[in-house]
């Protein structure tokens, strides 16, 4: 509605399509960003921060529905450690 047909309106990272009735239908995001307590978070960046620690052999971060807050998400990190203490690794990474 604000430009020529086919032009981008604004680069938000949101993926939408225009329905025949003119409304926009939200399909998801073009990246992996999620909103956690009002902040945009990239799970891959969290994984990279943990994976950079020498005691971490594998790291994965995923957004999960928060069972305590309807419609909200929380971030969970899964780690495979090489004999290190989880609390120590988390403190050093800044989790």
Span 27-73, pLDDT tens digits: 877 777 888 888 888 899 999 999 999 999 999 999 898 889 888 88
Among 3.40.50.300, 3.20.20.60, 3.30.300.30, 3.40.1000.10, name the CATH number for the domain at 32-93: 3.30.300.30
pTM, two decimals, is 0.64
Give me 59's structure tokens.
């790291």
pLDDT for residue 1 is more than 60 = no
Tally of CA atoms within 13 A in the half-sphere of 75 that contains its CB: 21
**73/19 Cα distance (integer angstroms):** 28
Q: What per-residue confidence (pLDDT) applies to 55?
A: 93
Cβ proximity of 6 and 18 under 8 Å: no
């Amino acid at each position: 509605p604000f430009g020529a047909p086919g032009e981008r309106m604004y680069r938000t990272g949101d993926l939408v399509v225009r329905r025949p009735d003119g409304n926009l239908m939200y399909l998801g995001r073009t990246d992996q960003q999620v909103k956690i307590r009002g902040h945009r978070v990239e799970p891959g960046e969290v994984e990279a921060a943990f994976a950079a620690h020498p005691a971490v052999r594998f790291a994965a971060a995923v957004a999960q529905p928060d069972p305590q807050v309807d419609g909200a998400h929380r971030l969970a990190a899964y780690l495979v450690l090489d004999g290190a203490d989880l609390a120590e690794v988390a403190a050093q990474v800044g989790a």
